[in-house]
Structure 1
Amino acid sequence: MIYLLLSVLSSTIIFIVFRLYKKYEVNTLQAIVINYFIACTVGFFGFIEGSDFTAVPSEKWFPGALMLGVLFITVFNLAAITTQKSGLSVVAVATKMSVAIPVFCGIFLYNESTGVLKIAGILLALVAVYLTSIKTKDGISIKWQNLIFPLLVFLGSGIIDTSLKFLETSYVSKTDVGLFSSTIFATAGLLGVLVMIYQAVRGELKLQFKNLLGGIALGVPNYFSIYFLVLALRSEGYESSTIFTINHVSIVALSTIVGIVLFKEKLIRKNWIGLILAMISIILVANSAI
């Protein structure tokens, strides 16, 4: 479970960095693109030994890594559009509720175990994610014409997690985890550069040093969030449906606590209820795996 804990901690640091982006007015797109290259570099120089980089395109997992790279940058842009049209709470709910996709794929495609504790924990986890993500007493509201964007974020995020499980199980060897992760980030980074070039042609690109710093600060924990998640999925005795549920709910719970402590966030009653349900769901799902 140590890898799962490290993945949760890395993802929580990502949350902190994003909060600081708002405070220091960092250009999110530029920082995200730089972050992908930083994450790729961390993998290449820190966690890959004796690999033949020229052989990467011939690896069986390479097409899947390219697809994930495309999904990373696509879902990010969809999340940005959703935030503009429907608000941050809608994005938070769509992203975290997407855990339902890899969880149910794990149960139905990989014949993973089910039980009263596990099912109850998963259902509580979904309720907890919703309650901790909404920031108004009235919940969230979405105009029907904008519904497509959160739905695409939901599907895209779920497909990313499900694809990680599939590729990790079928194609990625233990020694290739670092190279696999770095290839995903490199692909996303290159696509991000194309977006920035398009902005430059339109005269909309303004480079700033703080965006570079923001990308560096995000890139390191971003790499480890994926690297440790893949290793957690390889842990013996824990099924992917268990790993994904605990991972997502723990990130939501810990990020909420960090928001209270570091950023003095005020929680409404629904948030507190969601936080309590998150703790209960983690206990139920974890105990179901014992």
Structure 2
Amino acid sequence: MIFLLLSILFSTGLFIIFKYFGVYKVDVLKAICVNYIVAFSLGFLLAERKIPITEIYLEPWFYGALILGTLFVCVFFVMAMTAQKNGVSVTSIAGKMSVVVPVFFGIVLYNESVTFLKIVGIVIALIAVYLSSVKKEKSENNGTLLFPILLFLGSGIIDTLLKYIQTNHVADQDISIFSGSLFGIAAIVGFTILGIRTLKKPAAFGLKNIIAGIVLGVPNYFSIIFLIKALQNKNFESSTLFTVNNVGIVVVSTLVGLLLFKEKFSLKNKFGVALAILGIVLVTIA
């Protein structure tokens, strides 16, 4: 349980940092690239089993890390496009509602329990995610459903693959180096995209973006590490864990926005938080 709570707290920390990115006008892509380098470095520095970088490709989880690292960057760009085209609320809802994908595969692939109480808890949790996230936004652009759908599927596939690779290929002592490797792959993809963008429109990297990336990289690394460690707990089914994790992040992020950033929340948002807590309780009990 402690690893799950730590994953929720570190993931919420990412939202807080992104909030300050907007305040300090940080170039998000540059900061994200630096963040991946930091997370990659931590993975190798803190690894229990030392593996030469040149031999990483021999590990059974390498191709999984290759896919996940690439997906990290792709989903990040889809998230940005969804926010631009459809608004922040739609982005938040699509990202968190994606929990149904790993929940579905957890039940199908791992024969996890399906009880009435669990189904009710998951449904309540999904309703809570919507009510907690939806905001009134003025937009001249109705957007397209393509990006929210891609974000929904992409986020869900990342969680599902993470569970599958962790279960079948990652030994306990390899968690850190596996996480570092997928961040390293994400860094390569991210810097490739950044390089192409820079060729089209040259610009200085900026010390501010480097510092922002370092600040982001540490909690990003630990949010993944603690999630994987939580997934190793045999007392928690993945369908339960992903539901509690995603909804927990929504609840804590909402409370942080209310207390730290003095954000305005409607009665609908507050009711959503209350429902989220109820959903977490029901799923955990089930």
2:25 is aligned to 25
Does the CA contact (< 8 Å) of 1:199 and 1:205 recur in 2? no
Q: Trace 1:236-251 onto structure 2 (pairs within 5 A).
A: 236-251=234-249
Does the CA contact (< 8 Å) of 2:44 and 2:50 recur in 1? no
2:200 is aligned to 202
Does the CA contact (< 8 Å) of 1:61 and 1:172 recur in 2? yes
Q: Runs of 4 or more off by more than 4 Å in structure 1?
A: none
- Quote the Cα distance in structure 2 between the aligned partners of 1:20 and 1:204: 25
- Quote the Cα distance in structure 1 between the aligned partners of 2:141 and 2:48: 44
2:128 is aligned to 128
1:278 is aligned to 276
- Per the TM alignment, residue 49 of structure 1 is displaced from its structure 2 partner at its CA by 3.8
1:187-238 Cα shifts (integer Å, max 9, x gaps) = 1111111111111111243422111111111100000111110110000211
Instruction: Give ranges in structure 1 of 5+ residues lacking alignment.
Output: none
- Per the TM alignment, residue 42 of structure 1 is displaced from its structure 2 partner at its CA by 1.3
Q: Trace 1:1-290 onto structure 2 (pairs within 5 A).
A: 1-136=1-136, 143=142, 146-288=144-286
- Per the TM alignment, residue 141 of structure 1 is displaced from its structure 2 partner at its CA by 10
Identify if the C-alpha distance between structure 1 residues 89 and 206 changes in structure 2 by more than 3 Å, giving closer, same or farther.
farther
- Per the TM alignment, residue 53 of structure 1 is displaced from its structure 2 partner at its CA by 3.4
1:103-139 Cα shifts (integer Å, max 9, x gaps) = 111012211001122111111111111111111299x
Identity %: 48
1:46-83 Cα shifts (integer Å, max 9, x gaps) = 23443343321011110010000000000000111111
Q: TM-score, normalised by structure 2?
A: 0.96
- Per the TM alignment, residue 91 of structure 1 is displaced from its structure 2 partner at its CA by 0.8
- Quote the Cα distance in structure 2 between the aligned partners of 1:113 and 1:252: 25
- Quote the Cα distance in structure 1 between the aligned partners of 2:137 and 2:209: 34
AA at the equivalent of 1:36: Y
- Quote the Cα distance in structure 1 between the aligned partners of 2:259 and 2:21: 18
User: Which has the larger displacement, 213-222 or 200-209?
Assistant: 200-209
AA at the equivalent of 1:271: N
SS class of match (2:260): helix
Instruction: Give ranges in structure 2 of 5+ residues lacking alignment.
Output: none
- Quote the Cα distance in structure 2 between the aligned partners of 1:42 and 1:52: 15
User: Which has the larger displacement, 44-53 or 81-90?
Assistant: 44-53
- Quote the Cα distance in structure 1 between the aligned partners of 2:64 and 2:169: 9
